[in-house]
A and B are shown apart, each in its own frame.
Chain A
Amino acid sequence: MAIQANSIAADSNAQAALAFLPELKRLAQFIQNAKQDIAAIHPKAINTDHIPLANDELDAVVGATEAATNKIMDVCDDITRIAEAVPPEFKERLINCTTQIYEACNFQDITGQRITKVVAVLKHIDGKVGALLAALGDELGPVKIADNAMTPPTAPDSAAGLLNGPQLPGQGVDQDHIDRLLEKH
């Protein structure tokens, strides 16, 4: 009696499994198609070519703006020295001009910090793509995965939660708001 009951249960399980078979085949085909689609766009190039190139380009932007900013300030220093040798009314105007140029040179720090944030995002994408390639297996070729590939980017030190860099226009707070906050607290 017990043997017969077990046999019936086994048949029932086998039928249920067979019912899922077409669905499993469709799922397998879907995964295979996805792998082929991903392979067709040469994802390894994202790790090996595109992101390293983007990093190099951004480094070059930072280097070029720094060099240009230093050159601009060198000239400002020259103008300041020249201002010492001209009549007072011209001296004041020249100094005002150089002050405005120094103020404008703030841009190099701000853009540098923004680019650093972009580089951190690129590194994160690099890691994610590497992890995806590894998960897809051999047909996309061997892939070396960084140890921190699945770890979100974090700021480097103890003040991590407070290091966000420059905010986009309309975000963050302005100097007037900061002054009010300082008075209040």
Chain B
Amino acid sequence: MAVNMEMNILIVDDYKTMLRIIENLLKQLGFKNVIQAIDGTTALSVLRERPIGLVISDWNMAPMTGLDLLKEVRADRALKSLPFIMVTAESKTENIIAAKTAGVNNYIVKPFNAETLKQKIVAVIGAF
């Protein structure tokens, strides 16, 4: 099935510059609708109010981390199947295992490039 380039993509990061970088890279990849959230709590509110096709989230945020956000998403009947990619500087083996155990679809370590971002999105939602 073709990827809907008009779908809403929610990006979550407490660094505004990183939100801007990811949004720009997504737009260059052809995605039209990118929504930003500055932390996990805000992201969860957005997820419960608007239809979202993909979440790309940082891990290290307060008050709700990306891992806690992922767990909330997987525990919510309406959201549990939502594609979720973690983009984070946390690069210890136990982090990757914890994220996988919590149900992450893919994991990108910062700093990353546009090609890696595209590869992981393709792996999660299909080629576009």
Contacts and interface: CB of A to CB of B under 8 A. Distances in A.
B111 A173 contact: no
A59 to B, nearest CB: 15
Interface string A44-83: 0000000000000000000000100110010011001000
Given A106-B18, A174-B109, A73 B90 contact: no
A182 B96 contact: yes
Nearest to A174: B109
Contact of B62 (A77, A103, A157): A157
A165 interface: yes
Given A73-B24, A157-B68, A185-B101, A108 B17 contact: yes
A99 B89 contact: no
A132 B115 CA distance: 52
A39 B16 CA distance: 45
A102 B65 contact: no
A70 B20 contact: yes
B92 A175 contact: no
A112 interface: yes
Given A73-B24, A102-B25, A178-B91, A173 B17 contact: no
Contacts of B28: 95, 98-99, 102
Interface range on chain B (Cβ under 8 Å from partner):
35 or more
Nearest to A99: B114
A102 B26 CA distance: 11
A157 B68 CA distance: 10
A70 B17 CA distance: 7
B96 A178 contact: yes
Interface string B82-103: 0000000111111111101100
Contacts of A173: 91-93, 96, 109
Contacts of B63: 157
In this complex, which of A73, A103, A105, A158 has the most chain B Cβ atoms within 10 angstroms of its Cβ?
A103
A78 B98 CA distance: 41
A164 B62 CA distance: 14
Interface of A: 66, 69-70, 73, 76-77, 80, 95, 98-99, 102-103, 105-110, 112-113, 156-159, 162-167, 172-175, 177-178, 181-182, 185
21 contacts: A66-B17, A70-B16, A70-B17, A77-B24, A105-B21, A106-B21, A108-B17, A109-B13, A109-B15, A113-B60, A162-B94, A163-B59, A163-B65, A163-B90, A166-B89, A166-B91, A166-B110, A167-B89, A178-B91, A178-B107, A181-B100
Given A178-B91, A185-B96, 8 more contacts: A95-B28, A106-B112, A109-B89, A157-B63, A159-B68, A162-B67, A162-B98, A178-B96
